Each structure stands twice: as C-alpha cells, then as structure tokens.
Amino acid sequence: MNNLSKIEELKKKNEELNKEYNFYLTKIKNLKREREINYHIIQELCEHPIEQRERIIEYGERTKHQCRICYLIW
C-alpha cells in the first residue's frame, strides 16, 4: 500500500469519525437542554419560599439549590 492510498483511507476514516462526533455532540446538547428544562420544572414544583432554599456545592465546581423542606435539588 503506497502513501497516497493510506492517506485516502485515513481521510475517509476521519470523515466517519467526524460524523460520529457530531452525532454525539448533538445528543449531548439535547441532554443538557432537557436537564435544564427539568431543573426549571423542579423549581416550579417546589412551592416553598426562596429563603428556605440553600445553595449546595457538588463536586467542588457546580452550584445547585436544595429546598430545606422538601429536599428537592436543582
């Protein structure tokens, strides 16, 4: 196999990998969007006053909220 044919083979493989990458990237974006919608719905379902909600840190980087009454986290 000469270099040109090897290059063509690798280019085709990269095209396939790019398609797969873009597919999963879109899937990840959709999952994140769905998660944010769920957080919003949880906020609406918790009818307790804002002062009964406290910030919690998860994994040292994300800030979420938790109700001290019903323990919902979003």
Residue 36's domain spans which residues? 3-67
Residue 39 within any structural domain of the chain: yes
pTM for the model: 0.62
Residue 43 within any structural domain of the chain: yes
How much is the pLDDT for 57?
Answer: 67
Residue 73 within any structural domain of the chain: no
d(CA 26, CA 67): 32
How much is the pLDDT for 58?
Answer: 65
List, for residues 4-35, the tens digit of each pLDDT value: 999 999 999 999 999 999 999 999 999 999 98
- What's CA 64's distance to the chain center, in Å? 15
Please check whether residue 13 is in contact with residue 27, taking contact to mean a CB–CB distance below 8 angstroms: no
Residue 23 within any structural domain of the chain: yes
How much is the pLDDT for 34?
Answer: 96
Residue 25 within any structural domain of the chain: yes
Please check whether residue 46 is in contact with residue 67, taking contact to mean a CB–CB distance below 8 angstroms: yes
Residue 74 within any structural domain of the chain: no
Residue 72 within any structural domain of the chain: no
Residue 52 within any structural domain of the chain: yes
Domains in the chain: how many in total? 1
